[in-house]
Amino acid sequence: MRIGVIALQGDFREHLELLALLGWQGVAVKEPSHLVGLDGLVFPGGESTTQCILSEASGLRQPLATEVRSGLPVLGTCAGLIMLARTIIGGRADQWSYEVLDVTVMRNGFGRQVRSFEADIAVRGLETPMRAIFIRAPVITQVGEKVETLASVRYQFVDGASREVPVVVAGGSIIATSFHPEVSRDPRLHELAFTR
Ligand code: GLN
């Protein structure tokens, strides 16, 4: 298995380490020529606004748009989820996304850095709970008809309201999380994304 990790910004090294743990070949994708012969792609966490700028600068935006629409298996985590989402709330004016996953995400929707948190969550398809680390994470506010919610978390927002929020979603060949499985070093969603 040969999986590309978009390596422009963010925690791509953690993803590459997890892929190595699975015995797979991880490819750091920094330019279009690195996209040849991949079985899947990972969009890592980090800062989506910066990832937008660097995707343009590296010439990756157009070839990546083609790849993610081609049915290639894709896993996106946190900022990676934002990069794949159909609609972004709270994005910078010039922010764009690949619009291939029919969800709406609100950037930093769980609050600021101080509101970062961890939780054990049950994920459909996994036998035991997964440790989920949320760092300035996006909130999925809307899920399209053809998108399946694989996990959700009950969260009390700053205004006191408590709501069940989707945190792992699957649509077509794409799985995305609002947390960081690469930081808790749990490879099961990578397995699910690329071997289902
Ligand atoms: N808040 C970041 C963004 O908007 C995402 C944070 C993360 O990936 N941990 O891109």
- 145-178 pLDDT tens trace: 999 999 999 998 888 889 999 999 999 999 999 9
Let me know: does 28 contact 16? Beta carbons within 8 Å.
yes
Report the C-alpha gap between 110 and 139 in whole angstroms: 6
Q: Is the CB of 81 under 6 A from ligand 1?
A: no
Closest ligand 1 atom, residue 91 Cα = 4
Q: Is the CB of 136 under 6 A from ligand 1?
A: yes
Side chain identity at 83, as an amino acid letter?
A: M
Report the C-alpha gap between 95 and 69 in whole angstroms: 19
The CATH code for residues 2-195 is: 3.40.50.880
Report the C-alpha gap between 142 and 156 in whole angstroms: 18
Structure token pair of residue 56? 């343009």
- Say yes or no to pLDDT of 116 above 90: no
pTM above 0.85, yes or no: yes
Catalytic residue of the set 14, 52, 67, 180: 180
Q: Is the CB of 47 under 6 A from ligand 1?
A: yes
Catalytic residue of the set 78, 99, 118, 145: 78
Assign 113 a pLDDT band (cuts: 50, 70, 90): confident
Domain residue spans of the chain: 2-195
Report the C-alpha gap between 52 and 180 in whole angstroms: 19
Nearest to 84 by CA among 135, 37, 42, 27: 42
